[in-house]
Amino acid sequence: MSSTQQRGEYVPTIALIGCGAFAEVYYLPALVRFPGVAEKLILVDSNGARAQHLASRFGIHRCVDDYRAILGEVDAAIVATPHDLHYPISMDFLQHSAHVLCEKPLAEKASEAREMVAEAQRAGVTLSANYTQRLFPSSVKVKELLAGGALGKLASIHYSWGSLYTWPTASGFYFNARLSPKGVLLDRGPHAVDLICWWLGDRPAVVSCQHDSFGGAEAVAQVELSHGDCAITIALSWLNELPNEYVIRGERGEIRNGIEDWWRIPIALPSGKVHKIKLAHDEQDYFDFGRRLIANFLNVIRAGDKPLIPAGDVIPSVEVIEACYRTATRFAMPWYENLGTLWSPASAR
Ligand SMILES: NC(=O)c1ccc[n+]([C@@H]2O[C@H](COP(=O)([O-])OP(=O)(O)OC[C@H]3O[C@@H](n4cnc5c(N)ncnc54)[C@H](O)[C@@H]3O)[C@@H](O)[C@H]2O)c1
C-alpha cells in the first residue's frame, strides 16, 4: 500500500481549527485531494474573514468562528492554532469523542500533554501529533541505522537550524508575549528535540539552555543535552543563517545531512569513504508531507490504523523543552550590561 492509499469508503466530518499560514499551505491542499473530504470539511477560525477567504479558495462550504459550536458534531479535528490553544482545544474535542490531530508542539507543559493522551484513551479515540520532520524518509532511515548499530557507540549529535524569520503568520501569535513569551525554542525546537528523542529511543538530560529573551519571545537559543556518553547540542535561530544540518558521530562513522534533504543519507566511514543511501519518496517539497499525514489520519479515523505519530511518543520532547525553559539563562550580552556605565552622570560630563 502506498503512503497515501485509502481504506474504507466512509467520509468523516473533519474540523480544521486555525486557518492560518500552515493550514493554507499544508493541511488544505492535502485534505482536498481525498474524495469527499472537502464537501464535509468545516473551517474554524476566530478571524471569520480568514476562514471565509480559505473556504472560497479551496471550495469549502462551511465556516465557523467558534469551535465550541461544533463540538459533538464532528468525527475528528485538526488543531493548527497558536500554541497556547493546543491543549484546551484538543481537550474539548477529545472530551466529545473526536479523533484529534494536533500540531507541534503538542503542548507547552508535559502535564498537559499527558492529560491529553489520557483523555484520548478514556474517550476511546486517537490523538496524533504532527512533527513533520519525523515523516521524512531520511529521519526514518537514521532511526533504523542507529537502532541497528550502524554508527557504533554515539559520541555526539549536533542539530542546527537557523534562518531569518519570514514565515507569513496570519495572526502574528509567535511574537505575542501576552499569549506566550516563548519563541524559537517552542517553534523550531519541537522538531529538533523530538527527532533526537525518537532516534535515541529515550529522553536525554538537559545540561544547559541559553537564549536571548528579555521577557518576550527568544529569537536565538542554544541547548546542550546529554545521553550517556553522547553530547548533544541544538542551535536554533530566527535571526540568521546557520548550517541547517544534523551531524551524528559514532565510533564507526558519521552522518551529516541537511535537515530538509529527506531523500538521502550520507554516511562517512572512518576510512574516509562516504556511503550514500538514496531513499524513495513521493514528496517534492516540505508541504507535500501533509498528504502522507492526512492519508494516515483518514485511515486512523475510518479503519482504526495506528497514527504515524501517536501523541504519547512525543511527550519526552515536551518534557525536555519544558526543562530547557525552566533552567534557561540569557546569553552574556556585555553591551547591555555596560549600559549603566555608559549613561552614568560621570560619562555624561
Ligand atoms: N509542522 C510544521 O512544520 C509547522 C509549520 C508551521 C506552523 N506549524 C504550526 O501550526 C500552527 C499554526 O501556525 P501558523 O503559522 O499557521 O499560525 P498563524 O498565525 O498563521 O495562524 C493561526 C490561526 O489561528 C487562528 N486562531 C487564533 N485563535 C483561534 C481560536 N480560538 N479558534 C480558532 N482559530 C484561532 C488565527 O486567527 C489564525 O488564523 C502552530 O502550532 C505552528 O507551530 C507547524
- Which one of 44, 50, 103, 188 would you pick to mutate in the ligand 1 pocket, going by the greatest count of ligand atoms within 8 A of its CB? 103
Query: Residue 197's domain is classified under what CATH number?
Result: 3.30.360.10
Q: Is 104 in the pocket of ligand 1 (CB under 6 A)?
A: yes
Residues 265 and 184 grouped into a single domain = yes
pLDDT in tens, 321-344: 999 999 999 999 888 877 777 666
Residues 87 and 110 grouped into a single domain = yes
Number of domains into which the chain is organized = 2
Whether the Cβ atoms of residue 80 and residue 169 lie closer than 8 Å to each other = no
Q: Is there a domain that residue 272 lies in?
A: yes
Q: Is there a domain that residue 345 lies in?
A: no
Q: Is 324 in the pocket of ligand 1 (CB under 6 A)?
A: no
Residues 69 and 163 grouped into a single domain = no
Q: Is there a domain that residue 8 lies in?
A: no
Q: Is there a domain that residue 303 lies in?
A: yes
User: Helix 189-200 and helix 137-147: axis angle, to 10°?
Assistant: 30
Q: Ligand 1, atom 38: nearest CA belongs to which residue?
A: 20
Q: Is 106 in the pocket of ligand 1 (CB under 6 A)?
A: no
130 CA distance to ligand 1 middle (Å): 13
Average pLDDT, the chain: 95
Q: How far is CA 75 from CA 14, 42, 107, 124, 313, in A?
A: 6, 11, 22, 12, 23
For residue 285, which amino acid is it? D
Rounded to a whole number of angstroms, the CA Rg of the chain reads 22
Residues 109 and 70 grouped into a single domain = yes
Lowest-pLDDT range, 71-75, 121-125, 175-179, 261-265? 175-179
Residues 6+ apart with CB under 8 A from 25: 287
Q: Quote the domain boundaries for residue 185.
A: 134-279+317-332
Q: Enumerate the H helices of the chain as residue ranges.
A: 21-22, 28-31, 37-40, 48-58, 86-95, 110-123, 137-147, 184-187, 189-200, 289-303, 315-327, 334-337, 339-342, 345-348
Residues 188 and 299 grouped into a single domain = no
80 CA distance to ligand 1 middle (Å): 5
Query: Residue 80's domain is classified under what CATH number?
Result: 3.40.50.720
pLDDT in tens, 81-134: 999 999 999 999 999 999 999 999 999 999 999 999 999 999 999 999 999 999
**What band does 56 get if pLDDT is binned at 50, 70 and 90?**
very high
Residues 115 and 234 grouped into a single domain = no
Residues 36 and 116 grouped into a single domain = yes
pLDDT in tens, 1-46: 567 777 767 899 999 999 999 999 999 999 999 999 999 999 999 9
Residues 148 and 267 grouped into a single domain = yes
Residues 205 and 124 grouped into a single domain = no
How far is residue 123's CA from residue 143's CA, in Å, rounded to a whole number?
32
Residues 139 and 30 grouped into a single domain = no
Q: Is 237 in the pocket of ligand 1 (CB under 6 A)?
A: no
pLDDT in tens, 137-174: 999 999 999 999 999 999 999 999 999 999 999 999 99
Q: Is 24 in the pocket of ligand 1 (CB under 6 A)?
A: no
Q: Is there a domain that residue 344 lies in?
A: no
Q: Is 44 in the pocket of ligand 1 (CB under 6 A)?
A: yes
Rounded to two decimals, what is the model's pTM?
Answer: 0.95
Q: Is there a domain that residue 105 lies in?
A: yes
Residues 259 and 185 grouped into a single domain = yes
Q: Is there a domain that residue 302 lies in?
A: yes
Residues 207 and 327 grouped into a single domain = yes
Q: Is there a domain that residue 307 lies in?
A: yes
